[in-house]
Protein backbone atom coordinates (compact mmCIF):
# COMPACT_ATOMS: atom_id res chain seq x y z
CA UNK A 1 0.00 0.00 0.00
CA UNK A 2 2.88 2.37 0.85
CA UNK A 3 4.53 1.90 -2.55
CA UNK A 4 1.23 2.47 -4.37
CA UNK A 5 0.66 5.65 -2.34
CA UNK A 6 4.16 6.94 -3.15
CA UNK A 7 3.67 6.24 -6.86
CA UNK A 8 0.34 8.07 -6.77
CA UNK A 9 1.81 11.10 -4.96
CA UNK A 10 5.02 11.41 -6.94
CA UNK A 11 4.16 9.77 -10.25
CA UNK A 12 6.05 7.05 -12.04
CA UNK A 13 8.99 9.16 -13.17
CA UNK A 14 7.00 10.55 -16.11
CA UNK A 15 6.93 14.09 -14.73
CA UNK A 16 7.43 17.15 -16.86
CA UNK A 17 10.95 18.44 -17.37
CA UNK A 18 11.65 21.68 -15.50
CA UNK A 19 14.45 24.16 -16.03
CA UNK A 20 15.45 26.87 -13.55
CA UNK A 21 14.19 30.28 -14.67
CA UNK A 22 15.04 33.71 -13.33
CA UNK A 23 14.44 37.10 -14.87
CA UNK A 24 13.64 40.76 -14.52
CA UNK A 25 10.56 42.83 -15.36
CA UNK A 26 11.05 46.35 -16.72
CA UNK A 27 8.23 48.90 -17.11
CA UNK A 28 8.73 52.47 -18.33
CA UNK A 29 12.49 51.94 -18.26
CA UNK A 30 12.53 51.00 -14.56
CA UNK A 31 12.38 47.67 -12.72
CA UNK A 32 8.84 46.75 -11.70
CA UNK A 33 9.10 46.84 -7.87
CA UNK A 34 6.43 44.25 -7.02
CA UNK A 35 3.77 41.99 -8.50
CA UNK A 36 3.92 38.48 -9.89
CA UNK A 37 4.84 36.57 -13.05
CA UNK A 38 3.22 33.37 -14.32
CA UNK A 39 4.51 31.09 -17.09
CA UNK A 40 1.83 28.79 -18.57
CA UNK A 41 3.02 25.74 -20.54
CA UNK A 42 0.80 24.10 -23.17
CA UNK A 43 -0.71 21.92 -20.44
CA UNK A 44 -0.58 21.54 -16.70
CA UNK A 45 0.30 23.71 -13.75
CA UNK A 46 1.85 27.15 -14.43
CA UNK A 47 5.10 28.34 -12.88
CA UNK A 48 4.81 31.42 -10.66
CA UNK A 49 7.12 34.01 -9.15
CA UNK A 50 6.93 37.03 -6.89
CA UNK A 51 8.64 40.13 -8.28
CA UNK A 52 11.29 41.50 -5.93
CA UNK A 53 11.93 45.26 -5.33
CA UNK A 54 14.74 45.24 -7.93
CA UNK A 55 12.40 43.75 -10.57
CA UNK A 56 13.92 40.27 -10.44
CA UNK A 57 12.06 36.99 -10.03
CA UNK A 58 12.66 33.22 -9.75
CA UNK A 59 9.89 30.83 -10.83
CA UNK A 60 8.61 27.67 -9.17
CA UNK A 61 6.02 25.17 -10.32
CA UNK A 62 3.72 24.20 -7.46
CA UNK A 63 4.07 20.54 -6.55
CA UNK A 64 6.88 20.00 -9.05
CA UNK A 65 9.81 22.16 -7.92
CA UNK A 66 11.96 25.11 -8.83
CA UNK A 67 11.72 26.17 -12.45
CA UNK A 68 9.32 26.19 -15.37
CA UNK A 69 8.27 23.49 -17.82
CA UNK A 70 10.62 23.13 -20.79
CA UNK A 71 9.02 24.34 -24.04
CA UNK A 72 6.80 27.27 -25.06
CA UNK A 73 5.20 29.17 -22.16
CA UNK A 74 2.73 32.03 -22.33
CA UNK A 75 3.47 34.82 -19.85
CA UNK A 76 1.23 37.01 -17.74
CA UNK A 77 2.28 39.67 -15.26
CA UNK A 78 0.18 41.36 -12.62
CA UNK A 79 0.98 44.42 -10.53
CA UNK A 80 -1.93 45.72 -8.45
CA UNK A 81 -1.92 48.46 -5.85
CA UNK A 82 -2.71 45.90 -3.12
CA UNK A 83 0.49 43.98 -3.94
CA UNK A 84 2.65 46.93 -2.89
CA UNK A 85 4.43 45.73 0.27
CA UNK A 86 4.51 49.35 1.51
CA UNK A 87 0.73 49.74 1.30
CA UNK A 88 -1.75 48.72 3.99
CA UNK A 89 -4.32 46.17 2.74
CA UNK A 90 -7.84 47.37 1.99
CA UNK A 91 -10.66 45.11 3.09
CA UNK A 92 -13.92 44.79 1.17
CA UNK A 93 -16.45 42.22 2.36
CA UNK A 94 -13.74 40.27 4.17
CA UNK A 95 -11.46 40.02 1.14
CA UNK A 96 -8.48 42.13 0.20
CA UNK A 97 -9.29 44.45 -2.71
CA UNK A 98 -6.72 44.34 -5.50
CA UNK A 99 -7.06 48.02 -6.35
CA UNK A 100 -6.12 49.25 -9.79
CA UNK A 101 -3.57 47.64 -12.06
CA UNK A 102 -0.31 49.61 -12.19
CA UNK A 103 0.61 48.17 -15.59
CA UNK A 104 -1.51 47.94 -18.75
CA UNK A 105 -4.28 45.40 -18.18
CA UNK A 106 -3.39 43.42 -21.31
CA UNK A 107 -0.42 41.93 -19.41
CA UNK A 108 -2.72 40.39 -16.78
CA UNK A 109 -4.00 37.68 -19.16
CA UNK A 110 -2.11 34.92 -20.97
CA UNK A 111 -4.32 35.51 -24.02
CA UNK A 112 -3.74 39.26 -24.33
CA UNK A 113 -0.21 39.81 -22.98
CA UNK A 114 1.41 38.80 -26.29
CA UNK A 115 4.37 37.56 -24.23
CA UNK A 116 5.78 34.07 -24.81
CA UNK A 117 9.08 32.51 -23.86
CA UNK A 118 10.85 29.33 -24.92
CA UNK A 119 12.33 27.50 -21.93
CA UNK A 120 15.15 25.16 -22.91
CA UNK A 121 16.50 22.28 -20.78
CA UNK A 122 19.81 24.11 -20.29
CA UNK A 123 18.13 27.48 -19.67
CA UNK A 124 20.60 29.75 -17.87
CA UNK A 125 20.14 33.28 -19.22
CA UNK A 126 17.75 35.41 -17.13
CA UNK A 127 14.57 36.43 -18.96
CA UNK A 128 14.12 40.13 -19.62
CA UNK A 129 10.43 41.04 -19.77
CA UNK A 130 10.07 44.63 -20.98
CA UNK A 131 6.53 45.95 -20.75
CA UNK A 132 5.36 48.81 -22.94
CA UNK A 133 2.94 51.44 -21.68
CA UNK A 134 0.65 51.16 -24.73
CA UNK A 135 -2.73 49.58 -24.12
At residue 133, the pLDDT reads 86
First to last CA, the chain: 55
% of the chain residues with pLDDT over 70: 81
At residue 82, the pLDDT reads 82
* pLDDT tens column, 24-34: 999 999 999 99
* pLDDT tens column, 71-109: 999 999 999 988 877 765 555 554 556 788 999 999 999
At residue 90, the pLDDT reads 57
At residue 97, the pLDDT reads 66
Report which of 66, 50, 56 is spatially closest to residue 17, judged by C-alpha positions: 66
* pLDDT tens column, 36-50: 999 999 999 999 999
Q: Report the chain's mean pLDDT, rounded to a whole number.
A: 85
Amino acid sequence: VGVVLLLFLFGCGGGRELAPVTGKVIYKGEPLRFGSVMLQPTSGQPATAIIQPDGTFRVETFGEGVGAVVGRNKVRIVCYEAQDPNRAPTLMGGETAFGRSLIPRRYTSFDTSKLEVEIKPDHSEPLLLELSSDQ
